[in-house]
Amino acid sequence: MAEATAPLGALERVRLGRSSVEITRFVLGCAPLGGLYQAVTDEQADATLEQAWRDGVRAFDTAPHYGGGLSERRVGRFLQRQPPGSFVLSTKVGRLLVDQGEGDVPAPEFAGEAPVVRVRDYSAEGVRRSLEESLERLGIDRIDVALVHDAEEHLDAALDGAFPALAALRAEGVVGAIGAGMNFCEHLERIVREADVDCILVAGRYSLLDQSAGRSLLPTCAERGVSVLAAGVFNGDVLANPRPGAHFDYRPASDEVIARARAIGEVCASFDVPLAAAALHFPLRHDAVHALVVGARTPREVAEDVAHFSATVPDALYAELATRGLVQG
């Protein structure tokens, strides 16, 4: 564990594994811009991206899954207006988007998305097709970071097809860094051990409410020189605002989870630190975690998160949380 929690600047850059890709320590997660939990207008999405840019954020994470391509299109329209080479873009493979057939109307997975069928494909051919289609939606000519998305139920296929294909594309210079993103520590650890990846994105498993990634996944990544991007640091939004109706891991938070988040918040308040600031800083205390992926749907959320990210959080706060049994360290 790091010994200090000094202020962090959103512009500070870190290298992903052994790749040449450098990202800002604060990465804007763009799932909310695809309608995660609630719909977002084009104008709101653009204003949110503009705010992140003004605040120094130069790394953006999206995926075909987010809004059935809606997030990629919105992120792409914004990045087309920025100087080439001034940002780092991450997207994902594993879900191909197919137009629905007549009578085949799937339930929307994101608010406001157009009807679309998601087809899982972790083959080498599927990876290349996914990246080509992402580039078309984004309207730009390069993806810096390509992550295999949610392959926990298709891991053998991904290890046989997707990861070797991404490694070949990295060798060709088509992508700069490769990795995987999901919520499941044991599957990510297998990927780190068996695939030649630069980074992983672990969502919701190294936070003030869930430190399960710290048991084995993060030490394995540190040992192998694989950078960790910690996403879902608010576990939905319950660590940003622990209230009835808050989300925990994509579902309504239970009374027990809300009570625990509030107990953590009370300790934070005794140190005059906002709960959201403590939640943002916690994952970066581990040496394996190089950056955070923080989702936002409004300019205000971005500004608040970047301000919290740049604040000072005393180590004594985390020591007190550990003493009270609220975190494992």
Q: Note the pLDDT tens digit of each residue in 95-117.
A: 999 977 655 667 789 999 988 99
Is a pLDDT exceeding 70 seen at residue 7?
no
Stated length of the chain: 329
Q: Is 318 a catalytic residue?
A: no
Is a pLDDT exceeding 80 seen at residue 144?
yes
Domain at 13-253+274-312, CATH homologous superfamily = NADP-dependent oxidoreductase domain (3.20.20.100)
Q: Give the active site residue among 66, 122, 206, 318.
A: 66
**What residues are paired with 61 via a beta bridge?**
29, 90
Question: Who's near 280: CB < 8 A, 6+ residues apart?
Answer: 233, 292, 294, 305, 308, 309
pLDDT of residue 104: 61
Position 256 confidence tier, pLDDT thresholds 50, 70, 90: very high
Q: CA-to-CA distance for 317 and 251, rounded, in angstroms?
A: 28
